[in-house]
């Protein structure tokens, strides 16, 4: 079984004591490829994931400014992103989007920084990894206008209708640990209706560990629990889920 964790924060300080062991456990569990999300602590550091990817063949990177950190982005940030985007291990721009739950940055600033990064991804022909929380309508209208080449709704926790809206935009839906939570029936319904060629899996580690690890620090190796549950939900097998999600990731991240 060859799996791809399409969203992990391996640079997080929670991995400082055992990062290499964590990566080794992932590979032993069949997670052969990891997409490290490079948003880190926000600008001025934009290379949290690039550094990891440079040191590991199995790790690819994204670059981007998280909506939480939008207010920290200046002209120097965008200039640096433009230079980093052609790095051979950078496979996507993300996670970018809107977070109206925490509102750590003013909403108008979040929207402007989101739009600018969508334009940057489009100019490089790269897919985008979207974070959206309590901001579904604004996220969709910005994405409709920007029409990115391809994209991932990361940690998809919407319902069936939102899943259809994202799928109508040609987006991929990435499911994580939430899928295994007892009360996440709406998310499971969304996972059931997602076509094979739009399905991805992720951990979002160190956050959102799947059952039976819920509440603990999450890590890529735990993704096998999500894959098992996803297979049950879809009347499939973990092997088949691994095959289709890996194929989707490879297609999504190969040059257009
Ligand atoms: Zn996120
Ligand atoms: Zn994340």
pLDDT averages per 10-residue partition of the chain, 256 residues: 97 98 98 97 97 98 98 98 97 98 97 98 96 98 94 97 97 98 97 98 98 97 98 98 98 86
| Distance in Å, CA 54 to ligand 1 centroid | 23
Cα 154 to ligand 1 centre (Å) = 7
Sign of CA dihedral 243, 246, 252, 256: negative
Q: Ligand 2: distance of its center to the CA of 7 in Å?
A: 6
| Alpha-helical runs (H) found in the chain | 19-28, 48-55, 75-84, 107-124, 136-146, 160-168, 185-193, 223-234, 238-253
Question: What's the confidence (pLDDT) of residue 176?
Answer: 98
How far, in Å, is the centroid of ligand 1 from the Cα of 217?
16
Q: Please tell me the distance between residue 130's alpha carbon and the centre of ligand 2 in angstroms.
A: 9
Q: What is the CB neighbour count within 10 angstroms for residue 220?
A: 26
pLDDT (0 to 100) of residue 255 = 76
Q: What is the pLDDT of residue 256?
A: 65
Q: Cis peptide before 216, with omega less than 30 degrees from 0?
A: no
Would you say 23 and 55 are in contact if contact means Cβ atoms under 8 Å apart? Answer: no
**Side-chain half-sphere exposure of 129, counting CA atoms within 13 A:** 30
Say what the pTM is: 0.97
Strands 3-8 and 59-63: unpaired
Contact at 8 Å (CB) between 60 and 250? no
Coil, strand or helix at 192: helix
Distance 37 CA to ligand 2 centre (A): 7
155 CA distance to ligand 1 middle (Å): 7
As a whole number of angstroms, the distance between CA 189 and CA 191 comes to 5
Neighbours of ion ligand 2 (CB under 5 A): 204
pLDDT value for 18: 98
pLDDT of residue 177: 98
Please name which ligand lies nearest the alpha carbon of 202: 2
């Amino acid at each position: 079984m060859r799996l791809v964790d399409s969203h992990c924060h391996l640079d997080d300080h929670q991995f400082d004591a055992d990062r290499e062991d964590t990566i080794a456990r992932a590979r032993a569990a069949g997670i052969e490829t990891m997409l490290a999300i490079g948003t880190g602590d926000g600008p001025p550091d934009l290379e949290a994931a690039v550094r990891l990817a440079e040191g590991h063949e199995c790790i690819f990177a994204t670059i981007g400014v998280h909506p939480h950190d939008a207010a920290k982005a200046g002209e120097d940030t965008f200039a640096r992103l433009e230079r980093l985007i052609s790095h051979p291990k950078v496979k996507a721009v993300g996670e970018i989007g809107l977070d109206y739950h925490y509102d750590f940055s003013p909403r108008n600033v979040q929207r402007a920084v989101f739009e600018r990064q969508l334009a940057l991804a489009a100019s490089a022909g790269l897919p985008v990894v979207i974070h959206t929380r309590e901001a579904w309508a604004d996220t969709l209208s910005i994405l409709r206008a920007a029409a990115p080449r391809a994209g991932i709704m990361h940690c998809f926790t919407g319902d069936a209708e939102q899943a259809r809206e994202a799928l109508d935009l040609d987006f991929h839906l990435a499911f994580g640990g939430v899928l295994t939570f007892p009360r996440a029936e709406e998310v499971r319904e969304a996972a059931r209706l997602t076509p094979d060629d739009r399905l991805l899996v992720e951990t979002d580690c160190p956050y959102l560990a799947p059952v039976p690890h819920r509440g603990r620090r999450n890590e890529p190796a735990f993704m096998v629990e999500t894959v098992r549950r996803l297979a049950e939900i879809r009347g499939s097998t973990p092997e088949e889920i691994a095959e289709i999600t890996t194929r989707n990731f490879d297609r999504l991240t190969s040059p257009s």
